[in-house]
Amino acid sequence: MRTVKSPAPKTDRTEDESVLRVSQIISALSYALDLTEGQPMGHSVRACIIGMRIAQHIGMPLQEQGDLYYSLLLKDAGCSSNASRLFHILSADEIRAKGDVKTTDWTRVGWESLQYAITHVATGAPFLERVRTLLRVAATQQRDSCELVKIRCERGASVARRMGFSEAVAAGIFSLDEHWNGGGYPDGLRGKELPLFSRIMNLAQTLEVFLVNRGAESAIAVAGQRSGRWFDPDLVKAVVSLHHAGTLFADLEGEKVLQHVVALEPEHRQILVNEEMLDGICMAFAEVIDAKSPFTFRHSNGVADAAIAIGQQLDLGAQNITFLRRAALLHDIGKLCVSNAILEKPDKLNNYEFEVVKKHPYYTFEILKRIPGFGNLSEIAASHHEKLDGSGYFRGYGAEQLSLPARILVVADIYDALAAKRPYRDAMPIEKVFSIMQDEASKKLDPQCLEALTTAHRKESPGSGLTDLARALNNSVVSNQKEAFV
């Protein structure tokens, strides 16, 4: 077996996380939620700033502002949970559909909602099939919309609770899609039955989307048109007043928006991160990532388990193993930008689709690098599809650039991807998984990491005779499994 020397491990966290604030982590991770919603990165952060300006203008007590702040940042925490269902209803790219629905008044039957349906339903299907799907979608639209919103708001509220936020935060997220006139979902709440947080959040997110897509005047006009239907008229008045004062949409451009949003967290409510909270946030976001598709159910946790097993086998020490676990839990956060039309495609991906898939580690890097102190972790997490021979993606790194933790993550990711059921094949017997990986090891995977994983597995399942079995198995399936490493 050829061994490839790995660069010195950089698993020790030299960056000081003790001064990190929860708002810095959540605001950076909210960029992943934006991708899932088909919005430009920074949507949640800008909506948070707008919402907080509304709250301050109406004199919301500081205590409540602290909860509203996190409700706004996490308003889309449930967005991945209905992606698969929406894809199956529309038979088309659900990210595009989610993105465009934010500028559509879907509560009114008319040209606008018809045009939306024509643009987003069964877009790649033959004419007759499209018509059939359109009719089916029209017939079940109300029921499906309610179901989709319910899945999303239940999951969003549960993610917030899991992170340790209050019931007020969870309730705000739960009722995000309710409307002032009772025409929203999931419960058709009316007027002041809606939590104030939800009223502010829905208005703030709509303003942000129209601001970015059509400009400030258009955003204010839409708020006025939907006042009394979607939105609380008093809040719309507050928005108009803030706009006239020139403060509603100030400083919402560029990268500095992240600093603005962190500064907006009410001072007395600022939460500093401890190790336990950081683990909780990583686990909650792993849940968001894995909820995107039934085929990735538990993938992030599976990769974390495998990475920990390798780390322990290599005696890396507790701190480095904690680092590995967090990198593993977040490694596929960029996958939230890939449509389920691609993730759940049962056939081979075409070139365009594969190019989209290949971008997901890039987005992992783009999201995680925004968290102060996560420089090294973002590099490692974003390298999980690189290979020692330079044939991986997204940077085509070779052995010289892949540190030990990166190599561990590569092996752990492939192991879990092969062991799980995928749209194009059933789950693989564990012996076959190791057989395929053994074949790859000579040129692409770190043999030391693979050996550590094999040993850890053998310890856990004594008598499996894994290595012998693996070598005895036919390796010809390798060339057919490239997509499995996604």
Residue 290 binding Fe ion, by CB under 5 A: no
Q: Which of residues 38-97 bind Fe ion (CB under 5 A)?
A: none
Active site residue 335: yes
Catalytic residue among 98, 102, 292, 335: 335
Residue 440 binding Fe ion, by CB under 5 A: no
Residues 10 and 402: their CA atoms lie apart, in Å, by 10
Minimum Å gap between C-beta 95 and Fe ion is: 17
The beta-carbon contacts of 158-163 under 8 Å, at least 24 apart in sequence, are 158/78, 159/74, 159/77, 159/78, 159/284, 159/287, 159/288, 160/70, 160/71, 160/74, 160/77, 162/280, 162/283, 162/284, 162/287, 163/74, 163/277, 163/280, 163/281, 163/284
Q: Which is nearer to Fe ion, 287 or 332 (CB)?
A: 332
Minimum Å gap between C-beta 426 and Fe ion is: 19
How far from the centroid of its chain's Cα atoms is residue 313's Cα?
Answer: 31
Residues 227 and 374: their CA atoms lie apart, in Å, by 42
Q: Which of residues 364-383 bind Fe ion (CB under 5 A)?
A: none
- The verdict on whether omega for the bond into residue 186 sits within 30 degrees of 0, i.e. cis, is yes
Q: Which is nearer to Fe ion, 20 or 409 (CB)?
A: 409
Classify residue 341 as left (phi > 0), alpha (psi -120 to 50) or beta: alpha
Partners of residue 425 on adjacent β-strands: 422
Number of residues that bind Fe ion (CB under 5 A): 2
Q: Are 378 and 409 in contact (CB under 8 A)?
A: no
Minimum Å gap between C-beta 404 and Fe ion is: 19
Q: Specify the amino acid at residue 74.
A: L
Segment near Fe ion (CB under 5 A), from 157-165, 316-324, 330-338, 456-464? 330-338
Q: Which residues of 393-419 are buried (b: 16+ CB within 10 A; e: fewer)?
A: bbeebebeebbbbbbbbbbbbbbbbbb
Residues 227 and 310: their CA atoms lie apart, in Å, by 57
Angle at 120 between CA 216 and CA 124, to 5 degrees: 140
Q: Which is nearer to Fe ion, 185 or 394 (CB)?
A: 394
The beta-carbon contacts of 350-356 under 8 Å, at least 24 apart in sequence, are none
Minimum Å gap between C-beta 64 and Fe ion is: 39
**Tokens found for residue 59:** 């004199």
Residue 332 binding Fe ion, by CB under 5 A: yes
Q: Which is nearer to Fe ion, 199 or 292 (CB)?
A: 292
Minimum Å gap between C-beta 336 and Fe ion is: 11
Which is nearest to 381 in space by CA: 286, 447, 484? 286
Minimum Å gap between C-beta 48 and Fe ion is: 28
Q: Which is nearer to Fe ion, 416 or 451 (CB)?
A: 416
Segment near Fe ion (CB under 5 A), from 158-166, 412-420, 428-436, 457-465? 412-420
Minimum Å gap between C-beta 300 and Fe ion is: 7
Residues 115 and 406: their CA atoms lie apart, in Å, by 46
Neighbours of 59 (CB within 10 A): 7
Q: Which is nearer to Fe ion, 144 or 305 (CB)?
A: 305
Residues 77 and 292: their CA atoms lie apart, in Å, by 11
Residue among 76, 177, 208, 413 that touches Fe ion (CB under 5 A): 413
Q: Which residues of 202-213 are buried (b: 16+ CB within 10 A; e: fewer)?
A: bbbbbbbbbbbe
Q: Which is nearer to Fe ion, 235 or 414 (CB)?
A: 414
Segment near Fe ion (CB under 5 A), from 35-43, 251-259, 396-404, 408-416? 408-416
Segment near Fe ion (CB under 5 A), from 108-116, 152-160, 411-419, 460-468? 411-419
Q: Which is nearer to Fe ion, 332 or 446 (CB)?
A: 332
Minimum Å gap between C-beta 482 and Fe ion is: 13
Residues 186 and 191: their CA atoms lie apart, in Å, by 15
Minimum Å gap between C-beta 33 and Fe ion is: 18
The CA R_g of the chain, rounded to the nearest whole Å, is: 24
Neighbours of 114 (CB within 10 A): 12
- As annotated, the active-site residues are 335
Residues that bind Fe ion (CB under 5 A): 332, 413
